[in-house]
Amino acid sequence: MAAGPPTYEAVSMIEVLISYQLPAGLDESELRSWLAGRMRALSAEAVAFLPPGSVVDHDRDGLVRFALDSDAASTAEDRMADLVTDMRMLGLRPETVAA
């Protein structure tokens, strides 16, 4: 066994941000509860998750932010697409960024 510095396996991370606009007539507490439930489906793969509640800018009401390692991202892709589709159907006008 050769002595030397420890080796580390590089992990590639993908950060996903989904901002949304709260439409009139939609209860914010119900929306946050619904979003939290939907995010739990992703949280098994999520490395980090900050619940909605951050103000993004004056035109957006909330931000869902989470990070996945690259292996988990491939298995969570369909669930993320379903989440964004459901958000659109609720009138939240989601905007997504993956970096």
Phi-psi region of 91 (alpha: psi -120 to 50; beta: other; left: phi over 0): left
Sequence ranges of the domains in the chain? 20-98
pTM, full prediction: 0.70
- pLDDT, position 62: 80
Spatial CA neighbour of 90 closest among 21, 33, 17, 15: 21
For residue 88, what pLDDT band results from cuts at 50, 70 and 90?
very high
pLDDT score, position 38:
83
Say if residues 88 and 94 touch (Cβ distance below 8 Å).
yes
The CA distance from 68 to 80, in Å, is 11
Residue-wise pLDDT tens digits, 25-84: 888 888 888 888 887 777 666 665 555 554 544 556 788 887 777 777 777 788 888 989
